[in-house]
Amino acid sequence: MNVMLIRVAADLSRGGGRWNGPVDSTTNEFVYVAIPENSLVHAGFERPYSKLEPVLARFGVVLPDHLRARNMHLDPDFDHLTYGDAGQRGQQIREKLRPGDLMLFYSGLRDINQLPRLVYAIIGLFEIESFINAVDVSERDRDINAHSRRVLSREAADVIVKGRPERSGRLERCLPIGEYRHRAYRLKSQLIEEWGHLSSRDGYIQRSVRLPVLLDPSRCLRWIERKQPILIRANN
């Protein structure tokens, strides 16, 4: 089994919405806040940020003004257990992963207890069931993923990954994996010892077009099994 780490959710970059979703570091409970949608979406399939206001309120957090009237690019979509991508990232997923492989979704989350501390943590995982081209998704099934909700040309190469229902989902509580060292967020030194090395240099896990993979995936799988994460089929 191959294991790939995929950075998702809102962050401080322009494309990430210039914001981070909250996490309570005492419980590892968090809110999944997706990046903004910057492409045309089929009418009626928008996912407004305003829908997050009730769950954010439970963390004592409010949406920033610049996101309140915008829509999310809800990807991964844990309601439907799908993840879509395009460009170089989509090509890497097609080339390096197969059904049965594992995708670990991680995010940079803002700790509500130690502002402005960031917690880099796994928020969800998929054991891959199948792949589908976004342009081949029927109109009836358009709502399964952010990429199938988009208005795409027939030449679009967007790929959608489906997770196996019994082994995929959003984590009820996130699993912190990152630390700041050598002027970047990287996999914790302790985890490098437990997991083995990533394909990225010195465990680099900040957002990048190159998706890191585990060089010794069996060690990471044993770590996940010990953590016994609870998986939820819901975005929040």
CA distance 236 to 150: 22
Q: Are strands 169-176 and 231-232 parallel, antiparallel or unpaired?
A: antiparallel
pLDDT of residue 115: 87
What torsion do the CA atoms of 87, 96, 190, 18 make, to the nearest 10 degrees? 10
Contact 107, 125 (CB under 8 A): no
pLDDT of residue 208: 87
pLDDT of residue 207: 87
pTM: 0.97
pLDDT of residue 116: 87
Distances (CA, A) of 18 to 66, 139, 206: 9, 33, 15
pLDDT of residue 217: 96
SS3 233: coil
pLDDT of residue 101: 98
CA distance 3 to 58: 33
SS3 per-residue string spanning 108-169: EEEECCCCCCEEEEEEEEEEEEEEEEHHHCCHHHHHHCHHHHECCCCCCCCEEEEECHHHCE
pLDDT digits (tens), the chain, 236 positions: 999 999 999 999 999 999 999 999 999 999 999 999 999 999 999 999 999 999 999 999 999 999 999 999 999 999 999 999 999 999 999 999 999 999 999 999 999 999 888 999 999 999 999 999 999 999 999 999 999 999 999 999 999 999 999 999 999 999 999 999 999 999 999 999 999 999 999 999 998 889 999 999 999 999 999 999 999 999 99
